[in-house]
Amino acid sequence: MFEFVSAILILLGASFALIGSIGLVRFPDIYTRLHGPTKVTTLGLGGLLLGSMFYMFLQGEGVAVRELLIIGFLFLTAPVSAHLVAKAALHRRCQSVCGLPDRDAES
């Protein structure tokens, strides 16, 4: 029964990773493409690592601190890196499907 739970977590994480990878290829511009990889790192890899951690705990390996540290690191760095990429794209005035906001309207 517990192996079933870890298998479900691993499959859920792998499916999020697949969907995010497809989104990275299919979305039209850099601003919408940022959405796919950030969800992959937080949800997909989080599910994979939780499933792996749960399975190793059931096998008698103990609590895997490395997986917890990786999950924490990913949860902290994925939004920051997406924000920096979006700011760089705005600075370079990359074209968007929706169009960029007018800088004169903000003043």
- What is the predicted pLDDT for the residue at 103? 64
Cα separation, 77 vs 70, in Å, equals 10
- What is the predicted pLDDT for the residue at 15? 92
- Which architecture does CATH list for 2-95? Orthogonal Bundle (1.10)
**8 falls in which pLDDT band (50, 70, 90)?**
very high
As a whole number, mean pLDDT of residues 23-47 equals 83
Cα separation, 6 vs 54, in Å, equals 6
What angle (nearest 5°) sits at the alpha carbon of residue 12, between those of residues 11 and 13? 90
Alpha helices of 65-102 — where are they, by DSSP H? Answer: 65-91
